[in-house]
Chain A
Amino acid sequence: QHNVLRPLCDSPKAEEAALVAQDYLNGQHTHGYKYALNRIEDIKVQVEPNGQETYVLEIDLLETNCHVLDPTPLANCSVRPKLLTAVEGDCDVVLKRVGGVLTVTAFKCKTEESTEDLCVGCSTLLPLNDTAALDFVQASLAIFNNNTVNVTYTILEVGRMSSQLVSGGPQYLVEYVVVEANCTNDACMPLNDPMAQRGICTAKGFKIAHSVDCKMFAAPMMPAVDANSTVAAAPAVPPAVHVHTDSLSRRHGLKHHKLTSLHDPQQSGLLSAESAESAEIV
């Protein structure tokens, strides 16, 4: 016997739950960009006889300019304009309020780019394995490395690649995360050091980048370590280019980094079936 309440989608209660969900989903997201809440689509609150509340929330999120490794607070990140091919996430989230604190217990997301607003001359997202665009990324990184002293960077992750058809061929606009590298001969390996400097680069141009702009992130805060203590080895740095291996990516070709699609450890039964079907859309 549950009472089901329907708070207004713009009520403080709904906003509180949506912001908790937004932060949680961003915390689960290890590749690509941070997402910002765009709209609360629906909310139901189940109240059990013991007074415990379960929130079932549908929210719409939009991709921002901030990479997940970028320490910039989400509030200071700007949402990507539609013209630059917006990517949105639709998520069903289940939360419980325990001791006054809202906690996410399950979620299901689908991520897709908005294609309804594509226009002639607009930029188009490219698959993250597009060979020509990846060549452009490498060429632009070489330009950046030629302008740095004592440090060489390598690619940690390609965040986004898009092209715009103009006279003269496709004009690329790419974004990628770089990390300090240890280079021997022609091979560069990412430094396996949490203190290695990281940053995000944006490059634009035709076959050769005519502009490369890199914003380095602030160094991560590290706990003070006693020189005599034993420290666990730092986690291995991910491969130079993140390779998506899930079957969905192989079948469709991945155009963008997606939000984690499903997390429902207790099979809550509160997540809609509709999302499960539409999760196939990329």
Chain B
Amino acid sequence: IMFKRDIAAAAAPAVADSPAALTDPILLVPVCPGRVRFFS
């Protein structure tokens, strides 16, 4: 029997919108592609 358990939501990466993003490995987490508006 398998139980579904709650998993803590992953912390979203900080917005990689600064030069620090080039050096900070945390900020290098892929932030693209974006949301699909219609279908993929």
Contact = CB atoms under 8 A, between A and B. Distances in A.
A6 B34 contact: no
Nearest to B15: A8
Given A4-B22, A39-B40, A13 B17 contact: yes
Determine the interface band of chain B, counting residues with CB < 8 A from chain A: 10 to 19
A7 B35 CA distance: 14
A29 interface: no
A9 B33 contact: yes
Q: B-side binding surface: helix, strand, loop or mixed?
A: loop
A61 to B, nearest CB: 10
A5 B40 contact: no
B31 interface: yes
B32 A40 contact: yes
A79 B38 CA distance: 8
Q: Which of A4, A8, A43 has the most CB of B within 10 A?
A: A8
Contacts of A8: 15-17, 31-32, 34
A42 B21 contact: no
A9 B17 CA distance: 11
Interface string A32-52: 000011111111000000000
A147 interface: no
B21 A9 contact: no
B3 interface: no
A8 B19 CA distance: 14
Interface string B9-40: 00000011111011000000001111111111
A38 B38 contact: yes
A8 B18 CA distance: 11
A62 interface: yes
A130 B9 CA distance: 53
A213 interface: no
Contact of A7 (B15, B37, B38, B40): B15
B17 A7 contact: yes
Contacts of A40: 32-34
Contacts of B40: 38-39
Interface string A1-44: 00111111111011000000000000000000000111111110
Contact of A6 (B31, B37, B39): B31
A207 interface: no
A11 B32 CA distance: 10
B33 A5 contact: no
A62 B32 contact: no
Contacts of A79: 38
Q: Which of A4, A5, A14, A41 has the most CB of B within 10 A?
A: A5
A41 B17 CA distance: 17
B31 A39 contact: no
11 contacts: A6-B16, A6-B17, A7-B15, A9-B32, A9-B34, A11-B17, A38-B38, A41-B34, A42-B32, A42-B33, A86-B39
